[in-house]
Structure 1
Amino acid sequence: MRLHEVCDAARKRCAKIPGTGSRRKPARLGRSSGFKPTDRSVTLTGPHPTSMSTLPPCPIDTEDAVRRIREDGYAVVPDFLDEETVERLRAGLAPVFDAIGSRITEEHGQQTNHTHNLLAKTRAVDGVLMDDRLLKLVEGVLGPDFQISGVAAMRPGPGDQRQWMHQDDGHYPIPRPHPPLIVNTLIALDPFTVENGATEVVPGSHRRVERVDPDAATVSVEMPLGGLLLWEGALWHRGGGNLTRNEFRRSINVNFNLAWLKQRENQFIGVPPEVVVAMPEKLQALIGYKLTNFGLGTVDYRNPIETVKRRLAAAP
């Protein structure tokens, strides 16, 4: 089934639920030069609600998504978030984006603004990070012992340049081939299109030992607002260039890695302790305040969050 057919089917199911529906246009996956893509979207197995707080979220065929990531290096869940949830995330992240501004150059105009260490700046994304559907997908690739490596919000603007081809697990000097170390994700707060710079991937390249040619044929992963893209850290990919005059491509980037690896962002320093102790225990564990399955990360053989709480309580 093509991605636009998946989205259409999901909309039809939603239309049967009172008060629900979708105004999304059909999305396309994989327009590229010199490459004929196959569908990499994930089949939805139930109705997608307009409110995650009043109706259960749309189920995901986790097994199929994990298989696609293992075989092709990536998978797409086109209707991961409903429009109401996306609007709440946009509103919550607007002050964060406004605070950092954008790079502006005479040649390229207004470009990408990224904000990293997002959990120290806003609580707007907490619920998404703890979404069991997302965590099950990550667990299917990495196993149960994983953590959040970094969280960022991105807003590439008109004139933003195409990235260089890269792998996300290149930080770790581990000989290839090796088991998956990272699952990276993008949650679309705007539609991802070829024109506004949808992520470009080289399908199957996560299984390669040698580097790919910088000019290798790629697939542009287009997806609708609310879509979720997941890819294995060894997949060769890049952000596309934003060729539009007035479109931004907002997204949330959540990077997961194995719990025994060093995180991309130092969550223990980056997120203040008073912020950490106010988080749900589930989120505390996700950013590293837990013991790994191998017993790593202890403080006096205890969960480090206990030490943080004790020190805060003793502070004058």
Structure 2
Amino acid sequence: MNSDVKAAIDCLATYGYCLLEDRIPEDTARRMAERFLELHTDPKCQIYNTGDQYYQTLFGMMNLDDGVWMCASHPDTVAVARHFLGQNCRVVEACSKPTWPGAPGQHLHVDSAREFHEVPDVPWIINSIWMLTDFTEENGATGVVPMSHRSRRKTPPSDINPDSPLIKPITGRAGSVIMWHGGTYHQARANISDQIRVGLNIAYYPPWFNNWIEGGHQPIWPETYERMPPEMQQLCPGLLGHNRADRYETR
């Protein structure tokens, strides 16, 4: 394990998030952003697309663009995820998340915790967003509340408003990636710039987590799995199907 990955693990353990800079070439990231924006307007993809004219989530990106695999199986992000979730952690979903100019700030939240009777004291998700365009304070770079993953709350306190100094914007160049503990309070901040910000969200879960609770998540199509290189297949065990009813656990 190289020293900057070790530093990222230490940062995530302490503060609830980390930033790995320049993990894919900038021009590759920007080309991915352009392709993803085209998918957001493709009629065939609308069944997987949620949101409005300002902020959207396009689910099922593992099936829709093979280039996503490069990010999902990147050795540095996988090393961080496996440190916290174990060697058998799974890549469960990849989503394209563009934010258009004028988008208001997203509500502060934690990830995948609503079904817990008591929030566990071990990580249940390590989430990530690849910066496919630059993330700046003006275009709404993801905001986190450092060390909030230690609170073990299902929802953040209501008195942390969008302008709170507790929320730290995580900025970086296209090609970098943010990773965070699912219990870290975070948000997509308001985009007050004239630029579209595009991120690729990839979620890593331990094998014991019931992914049914995330309603938009899509399984891997069998034909997608067949095309994947071995290192990507290893991250997607038992997630095959053409729709959620084919694959996902129930309550």
TM tier, smaller: 0.7 to 0.9
Matches within 5 A, 1:254-265: 254-263=202-211, 264=214
Map Cα deviations across residues 79-131 of structure 1 (whole Å, 9 max, x no partner): 22222321442344343133159966xxxxx4123211111212121122121
Q: Does 2:98 align with 1:155?
A: yes
What fraction of aligned residue pairs are identical, expressed as a percent?
22
Matches within 5 A, 1:38-49: none
Distance (Å, rounded) in 1 between the aligned partners of 2:75 and 2:56? 29
* Structure 1 residues 157 and 276, CA gap change in structure 2 (3 angstroms): same
Q: 4+ residue stretches of structure 1 with deviation over 4 A?
A: 100-104
Distance (Å, rounded) in 2 between the aligned partners of 1:265 and 1:283? 23
Map Cα deviations across residues 117-170 of structure 1 (whole Å, 9 max, x no partner): 111212121122121121111112222121012110111001112111110031
The equivalent residue for 2:237 is 288
The equivalent residue for 1:247 is 195
- Check the 8 A contact 1:60/1:133 in 2, yes or no: no
Matches within 5 A, 1:67-216: 67-99=10-42, 100=46, 110-210=53-153, 211-212=156-157, 213-215=159-161, 216=164
The equivalent residue for 2:182 is 233
Q: Which of the pair has the greater relative contact order for Cα pairs under 8 Å at 6+ separation?
A: 2
Distance (Å, rounded) in 2 between the aligned partners of 1:174 and 1:102? 28
Q: Which amino acid aligns with 2:173?
A: P
Shift, 1:266, TM fit:
8.1
RMSD: 2.6
Calculate the TM-score normalised by the size of structure 2: 0.81
Distance (Å, rounded) in 2 between the aligned partners of 1:87 and 1:122? 14
Distance (Å, rounded) in 2 between the aligned partners of 1:103 and 1:115? 9
Distance (Å, rounded) in 2 between the aligned partners of 1:154 and 1:60? 30
Q: Determine helix, strand or coil for the equivalent of 1:275.
A: helix
- Check the 8 A contact 1:149/1:265 in 2, yes or no: no
Shift, 1:60, TM fit:
5.9
* Structure 1 residues 207 and 287, CA gap change in structure 2 (3 angstroms): same
Calculate the TM-score normalised by the size of structure 1: 0.65
- Check the 8 A contact 2:62/2:94 in 1, yes or no: yes
- Check the 8 A contact 2:30/2:174 in 1, yes or no: no
Distance (Å, rounded) in 1 between the aligned partners of 2:64 and 2:32? 13
Q: Which runs of 5+ in 2 are unaligned?
A: 242-251
- Check the 8 A contact 2:132/2:200 in 1, yes or no: yes
Distance (Å, rounded) in 2 between the aligned partners of 1:115 and 1:237? 19
The equivalent residue for 2:5 is 62
